[in-house]
Amino acid sequence: MRQSILFTKTQKEAPKGEVARNAILLIRAGYIYKEMAGVYAYLPLGLRVFRNIERIIREEMDAVGGQELLLTSLQSQAVWEKTGRWSDDVIDNWFKTKLVDETPLGIASTHEEPLTNLLTHYASSHRDFPLYIYQFQTKFRNELRAKSGIMRGREFVMKDLYSFCRNEEEHAAFYARMKEAYTNVFKRVGIGEQTYFTYASGGSFSKASDEFQTVTDAGEDTIYIDEETRFSINEEMLDDEASLKKFNLSKEKLVAKKSAEVGNIFPLGTKFSEAFGLMYRDESGNEKPVIMGSYGIGLGRVMGTIVEVCADEKGLRWPHEVAPFSAHLVRLGDSETVLTAAEKTYEELLRAGKEIFYDDRKGVSAGEKLADADLLGMPMRIVVSEKTIAANAVEFRDRMDRRVSMVPYGEVFARIGT
């Protein structure tokens, strides 16, 4: 992409009324647009990051046998009443509306009920299970506070996967595979080192759950980490002696850290399957309830957390696999010599299959272009100027480690990932 045709522009000042670092940087860099508190639009560069996160998650879900579908946002009251969760006293952040004939509708914040209900039409034999079904779907939650940028939204996209197994052993085996899949996701998006597997309360879903918490000052949670094992426990479970004993944890060895939840997995048991009659007949013809699990990742929350963990004082710093482009080619100067050399470099990189963001803007100072490159945060910056042309080289900068070097022109292609 050529920067001259990008309709968004960078901003020097932080947006008024925004306090979250992730939102401030993403808005200044033109990645997102704030519609209202907790509601953000993803602009071209932001959407490329978002899609890369989605791709990584999809690859890991497919690798464990997941099947993707897309459920509806509008939900029937009757479906949710089967589990008693239609009431605002049970789920207090519903958005609800009505049809013109006054029929109540819910705008889904989660999908355990509708998917379980759907499966009663398609699966009833032991041969139909296990099933692992997931989606990427927009959720709506009436959050009382939305001050964490895209890390806590009233409208957001979640990957939610639901497992349907025949017995506890089958469920436990898949649950362990999902722990590994989530670990892979967070490594690939660039926050694996800062992310801890965390034992936590299950809230309204189950007695306990497992969270993936990323250490960051922007987090709303506190976790207690055993740094030797990298296992952690949520603050709400710290005084539960049974939990400490179960995981052989000593309070004296635990270190408190601020953190943000980037993913969670819940054992659901038979609560939902029994409510909807999702049963299967075993080999002997006996009916048994399906064992369920729930596994969620908020894509915007992951994107915002990457910003909080990786950004520096100059701007964004995207890990390679989620970056909107592999490299930012910056042309310094508008002379015919520089223009020709930069265009040649751009075209050759494209032919080599590299994803390049090219700052071809005319009349923009070198200082402004370099500051924009820092703010936009591509993993690599390639500068073409009169100085580099004279040396038959380009100036190459790695945004993560900040090293700058002159690289012979012929070697630049090997330095850039696809």
Burial 122-135 (b: 16+ CB within 10 A, else e): ebbebeebbbbbbb
Output the six-digit token pair for 31. 């990645």
In this structure, what are the phi and psi dihedrals at residue 286, rounded to the nearest 5 degrees? -85, 140
Output the six-digit token pair for 58. 């999809």
In this structure, what are the phi and psi dihedrals at residue 161, rounded to the nearest 5 degrees? -115, 140
Say which DSSP state 348 is in.
H
Enumerate residues 6+ apart whose C-beta is below 8 A from 377. 29, 311, 315, 316, 317, 318, 323, 399
Global pTM? 0.95
Query: Which parts of 299-360 are beta strand (E)?
Result: 327-331, 356-359
Domains, the chain, with CATH or none: 3-310 (3.30.930.10), 327-415 (3.40.50.800)
Cα 251–253–256 angle (5° rounding)? 75
Q: What letter represents residue 203's amino acid?
A: G
* Residue-level pLDDT, tens digit, the chain, 418 residues: 999 999 999 999 888 888 899 999 999 999 999 999 899 999 999 999 999 999 999 999 999 999 999 999 999 999 999 999 999 888 888 999 999 999 999 998 999 999 999 999 999 999 999 999 999 999 999 887 777 899 988 999 999 999 999 999 999 999 999 999 999 999 999 999 999 999 988 665 567 889 999 999 999 999 999 988 898 999 888 888 888 888 888 889 999 999 999 999 999 999 999 999 999 998 898 999 999 999 999 999 999 999 999 999 999 999 999 999 999 999 999 999 999 999 999 999 999 999 999 999 999 999 999 999 999 999 999 999 999 999 999 999 998 888 889 999 888 888 886 6
Q: Judge contact between 23 and 150, C-beta under 8 A.
A: yes
DSSP string, 176-240: HHHHHHHHHHHHHTT-TTTEEEEEEE-TTT-SEEEEEEEE-TT-SEEEEEETTTTEEEEGGGTT-
